[in-house]
Chains A and B, each alone.
Chain A
């Protein structure tokens, strides 16, 4: 680490010493590209200059889709698949391997990682964020560890919320859903209500959003949820070139859990997801400095009593109570991130981005570690990338990330990209690597529980005593991070005065040292329970290749818009269910049409090829999903709108588990400003 630090420090001195004051170059002032902020390299740059495939989802696309869950929005990205394991547990995956706790995606909200250190993955439903707070979403399809470190493995999602100045005044949104089920007695519904108010005071803008969501979930599962969300964002200026953003939010959740069996009784899990975020930006003539400090917390309370009954009469005493125990799934996770970085224009053609971050993850969970100690992992990152625009319209970008974590040894990730522009066509060749560290419990977990044998148990020698009953996971600290090496060739083209944009990419990547679970047989006395426990090992490699296409046709001025995407993927893997978890072909087509200033219709259709979820039991099958929306503006001045939305208007389909049926449903939404 010291060597890497020294190298980066030397580079800083070398490059900064070449800086000189520039005279006013009018042509640059007039024609240099717009600062469209893209997450892919932390620099302000247009899409055509991004050293990766980036899909931008804007507010209009979100509105067109009619979706009420944030996770569903990612259906609008080529190669992404979304499923619902339970009503309140959406899973978002890119190129398969979708699990309830999907660990190969980096997800950021305004640059703050929302990855949960306890189980990994993203609590999509429990994010303290309302859809209407989102300004746009940038999805980088491919590894981006150089910019965002571990977890930016298969893809990076950055959700960018609206500046507080954009939401002055009040707004309400009320949505009521009615699902059409085969069971006429079933009154499975959902209901959302949000209220927002924004104002300013001097140079400070602020916005508060609060909301309540209720969803009955699948009709066959105990998975209803009630969420109460609140967030606040303030933006202020302390000098003409200094910008501050301070934000905080909390989501309180009550979620139905359990399958009704004695080992997993029906119960409510109470959770709280919160964050605090402070960001400072200093904009100088050629240097932009950003300092961010963020804290994300998840606090789950889920304690219940397990009773074990010999239902099969395996012990020969009849259907009797063997014993019971208090189980605690409760856990507390904290992630604190401090990051400092600079974008520096050494010359108009040469930009340099560099910075450092320190992240501290803490997890406390009796269930995962069999103790009440706080587990802690510190991760330090140094990153740097150089972008050079050559006189022949070529952009060369090279970046490196050095990451040193307290649970793995220091490793480096790289990205090299070359973009050649010919008129309105931009060919990019990108090669990048990334790694994914094991999460804390994968490496240090010790999941087991005992059973307190009932005092009335017929065998006196064990009655009233405590024995190990389940051993699920035993730690293995020798596991190494898994790695990905990715190559892609892409072509982004702009037609019709930039009204039509197309992007096509051919890609190939290899995941090596795959972190996978290995089962070890185990026999637990005194009941001679034959079971398996699991631990993590580094396995073989997986190869994935394919082609993805995206287009956006947005004529200006116009009363319609059309966009869509396709993804064809093939995988070869030793991992159980990996190949089956990737749908070979996925696609979507969406758009809207304003046939009158007060009337708009929009529709989105999705095709998902045969696939199954690794931790589900859904049969491999293809399905289509079709949403149709009509919007009527009652009052243009106050944006008073009524929307009628039809979900799943194509055939119903099973999601994740065979019995999870996604049915036709209808929503009515009323929104307006005050």
Chain B
């Protein structure tokens, strides 16, 4: 089974490489990078951990400038300057540079795939996505719980199209049922209906569905139905989801540093429009696993299998 997964990833990878290549041909080469401006949406621990990792993992002679947006989403009393590259952390910083930086290379981070679609990304802007590709979520899920069918809840804004769902169903061999909710739909009623016919709830970033207001009800309802939740967020796991796969702030920092180093070693390297972090972590809630009689696999082995798949 794993061989099939890896084989299919190879195809996916090939397709994305062709897309990136086309983008590369379509755009001009970079000048040599000497200065980088890192713009944070706000000042918080995870941004700072990523920045620390970027600086440690890139060449010492690069000049870094680090700024934080003010509460109105602007750079307070300072100009953007003339950096060779801009790295943004968080959606506010991404939106700020989208409006104010058109002629420089920009790498956005700490944004999800759907957030990237929210603004019309410039050609020389790239994004390191915070979430994982759907296929990786599915492969992760299958390594933890052997399932035939999973449920996904989303809104029309974040829903996957039928073609993509069918494609992933074929690749993973898992039936995917997606419920798309409108404003007036009853969340828990739909969740119950979804879980009646499926063995696992896969939660994917969708702020209207998964937020402080709804999380407790979702986790409690799933638990009551003895159906585990596999999530994108480690904080959901601490709250009661069974497991999550995610890129930690340090892994995001390393990935960003790798992109910078690539630009330094290959000045004509064209940044891809977007990439997923190919280094990630997994987290389990052993108490939930025990309550649901689920025997968790070895964490290191899960990561190893998923990384092998990513590399292939």
Contact = CB atoms under 8 A, between A and B. Distances in A.
B213 A31 contact: no
Interface string B198-242: 000000010100111110111011011000000011110111000
Interface in A227-274: 237, 239-241, 243
B47 interface: yes
Interface string A548-578: 0000000011000000000000000000000
Contacts of A25: 41-42, 90-92
Contact of B115 (A24, A284, A557): A24
B45 A237 contact: no
A200 interface: yes
A166 interface: yes
Contacts of A285: 211-213
Interface in B1-55: 41-47
B213 A243 contact: no
A205 B186 contact: no
Contacts of B92: 23, 25
A34 B46 CA distance: 15
A200 B221 CA distance: 12
Contacts of A200: 224
Interface residues of B, number: 48
B246 interface: yes
A234 B89 CA distance: 45
Contacts of B234: 30-31
Contact of B224 (A23, A205, A283, A286): A205
A166 B214 CA distance: 20
Nearest to B291: A166
B221 A26 contact: no
A237 B188 contact: yes
A29 B233 contact: yes
A31 B248 CA distance: 8
Nearest to B187: A240
Nearest to A421: B45
Contacts of B41: 25, 27
B249 interface: yes
Given A24-B91, A26-B115, A29-B205, A241 B214 contact: yes
Contact of A240 (B45, B188, B296): B188
Contact of A165 (B68, B213, B224): B224
B112 interface: yes
A518 interface: no
Interface in A285-310: 285-286
B116 to A, nearest CB: 11
A36 interface: yes
B61 interface: no
Contacts of B298: 557
B213 A241 contact: yes
Contacts of B214: 240-241, 283
A350 to B, nearest CB: 12
B286 interface: yes
B238 A36 contact: yes
B301 to A, nearest CB: 11
Interface in A1-58: 23-27, 29-36
Indicate the member of A23, A36, A205, A284 with the most B CB atoms within 10 Å. Answer: A23
Interface in B154-182: none
Contacts, number: 107
A31 B247 CA distance: 10
B115 A391 contact: no
A237 B221 contact: yes
B111 interface: yes
B254 to A, nearest CB: 16
B87 interface: no
B52 to A, nearest CB: 11
Contacts of A26: 90-91, 110-112, 115, 130-131, 205
A240 B47 contact: no
Given A24-B91, A283-B216, A30 B224 contact: no
A249 B49 CA distance: 49
Interface SS of chain A: loop
Contacts of B216: 35, 241, 243, 283
Contact of B239 (A24, A31, A34): A34
A349 B71 CA distance: 13
A31 B246 CA distance: 10
A234 to B, nearest CB: 13
A132 to B, nearest CB: 14
B235 A34 contact: yes
Nearest to A35: B239
Contacts of A391: 43-44, 68
Nearest to A285: B213
A393 interface: yes
A556 B238 CA distance: 15
Contacts of B205: 26, 29
Contact of B238 (A23, A35, A284): A35
Contacts of B249: 31
A27 to B, nearest CB: 5
A574 to B, nearest CB: 48
A25 B212 CA distance: 12
Contacts of B112: 26
A55 B46 CA distance: 27
Contact of B286 (A27, A34, A345, A556): A556
A286 B218 CA distance: 17
Contacts of A345: 212
B217 A241 contact: yes
B40 to A, nearest CB: 10
Interface in A129-180: 163, 165-166
A261 to B, nearest CB: 53
Interface string B116-160: 000000000000001100000000000000000000000000000
A393 B239 contact: no
B48 to A, nearest CB: 8
A393 B45 contact: yes
B91 A34 contact: no
Contacts of A32: 235
Indicate the member of B131, B188, B298 with the most A CB atoms within 10 Å. Answer: B188
A205 B92 CA distance: 42
Contacts of B130: 26-27, 30
Contact of B46 (A27, A35, A286, A557): A27
B213 to A, nearest CB: 5
A286 to B, nearest CB: 7
A227 B298 CA distance: 46
B238 A165 contact: no
Contacts of B211: 29, 285
Contacts of A349: 44
Contacts of A35: 216, 238-239
A368 B161 CA distance: 75
A391 B45 CA distance: 8
Nearest to A30: B233
Contact of B212 (A23, A243, A283): A283
A241 B186 CA distance: 11
A116 to B, nearest CB: 33
A349 B298 CA distance: 36
Given A24-B207, A30-B130, 16 more contacts: A25-B41, A25-B42, A26-B205, A27-B46, A27-B47, A29-B210, A30-B233, A30-B235, A163-B220, A205-B224, A237-B217, A240-B187, A240-B214, A243-B220, A349-B44, A393-B45
22 contacts: A25-B92, A27-B44, A27-B46, A27-B89, A30-B234, A31-B46, A31-B235, A33-B238, A237-B221, A239-B188, A240-B187, A240-B213, A240-B217, A241-B216, A283-B213, A284-B212, A284-B213, A349-B44, A391-B44, A557-B286, A557-B296, A557-B298
9 A-B pairs with least C-beta separation: A34-B238, A391-B43, A24-B207, A240-B217, A240-B187, A165-B224, A27-B110, A31-B46, A285-B213
Interface of B: 41-47, 68, 89-92, 110-112, 115, 130-131, 186-188, 205, 207, 210-214, 216-218, 220-221, 223-224, 232-235, 237-239, 246, 249, 286, 291, 296, 298
